Amino acid sequence: MRGENGTLGRALVVEDAPEFRELVVSQLEAHGFEVESASDGPSAVDLARLVMPDVIVLDIGLPGMDGIEVCRQVRTFSDAYVVMLTGRDDEIDKLVGLSVGADDYMTKPFSPRELVARVQAMLRRPRNGSGPSGEERRVGDLAIDIGTREVRAGGEEVDLTKIEFDLLAILTDHPKQVLTRSQLLERVWGADRFGDDHVVDVHMSSLRRKLGDDPKSPRYIRTVRGVGYRLVETSDR
């Protein structure tokens, strides 16, 4: 993917620590990105609306407005990829951040080169996928419309992020098969995505929470310990 001026795309880096922000900006620029930066939440939202970046590197802990609220607001007008940065190895931060529309996360400290590699991999995969119009799949009272990317559980619409929908759709592609975390990572994030496959578990936890699916007594998605996930079959119920 290349922008109109020959760059790999526009990136927005949102980080309140000047030295770290400058390091990430310089790495992205060195790899061909056109980069803007912000140091607080409100400025990040305004800048995202102005420059319409392809990807946003977004720290969770920001002055003025935290990264989770920034992501929530940006999602009302932008489909940019969002990578959340957190200084704590805290799954709650990651899960909440991903549930408002972030695509990936990284825990500090990390290699800026790895961040750039993840961003490059994101931009190589298509952002908006869709299946045949009108194709609907069912798992119990869960209805998944592949064409419109709408999901209803018990007749109620469920608001999923792109990655949550993609995970659910891929499971319905293989209703009797256990898909490993590595397989899900490759099919949703792309074959060149590297790093911790725990990101699959974080998105899957958020997906289940939105569906009201209890992992201890699942109605839709079953965990196969040590392997991955599969859909709940009629015989499981």
> What pLDDT shows up at residue 162?
85
Q: What is the largest CA-CA distance in the chain?
A: 56
> What pLDDT shows up at residue 101?
84
**Exposed / middle / buried, residue 143 (Cβ in 10 Å: 0-12, 13-18, 19+):** middle
Is 140 found in the same domain as 119?
no
Q: Which one of 89, 123, 157 terminates a domain?
A: 123
Beta strands in the chain (DSSP E): 9-14, 33-38, 55-59, 81-86, 104-107, 136-139, 142-145, 150-153, 156-158, 179-180, 221-224, 228-231
CA angle 180, 68, 115 (to 5 degrees): 55
Is 111 found in the same domain as 34?
yes
> In which order are the strands placed within the sheet that holds 221-224?
179-180, 228-231, 221-224
In-domain check, residue 60: yes
For 65-83, b/e burial (b = at least 16 CB within 10 A) is: bbbbebbbbbeeebebbbb
CB 109 within 8 A of CB 124: no
Q: Which residues contact 96 (CB under 8 A, 6 or more apart)?
A: 68
Which residues constitute the domain of residue 204? 136-236
Is 119 found in the same domain as 39?
yes
Is 214 found in the same domain as 150?
yes
Backbone angles phi, psi at 131, to 5 degrees: -105, -170
Instruction: Return the closest-CA partner of residue 199 out of 159, 175, 167.
Output: 167
CA distances from 149 to 137, 144, 207 (A): 11, 7, 14
Q: Which one of 84, 101, 123 terminates a domain?
A: 123
Is 91 found in the same domain as 13?
yes
Is 92 found in the same domain as 164?
no
Spans of the chain below 70 pLDDT: 1-7, 91, 125-134, 191-196, 234-237
In-domain check, residue 129: no
Is 221 found in the same domain as 194?
yes
> What pLDDT shows up at residue 118?
87
Number of domains the chain is built from = 2
CB 107 within 8 A of CB 37: no
> What pLDDT shows up at residue 210?
92
Check which CATH number belongs to the domain holding 70 and give it.
3.40.50.2300
Q: What does the alpha-carbon distance between residue 24 and residue 133 come to, in Å, rounded to a whole number? A: 41
CB 71 within 8 A of CB 102: yes
Check which CATH number belongs to the domain holding 156 and give it.
1.10.10.10
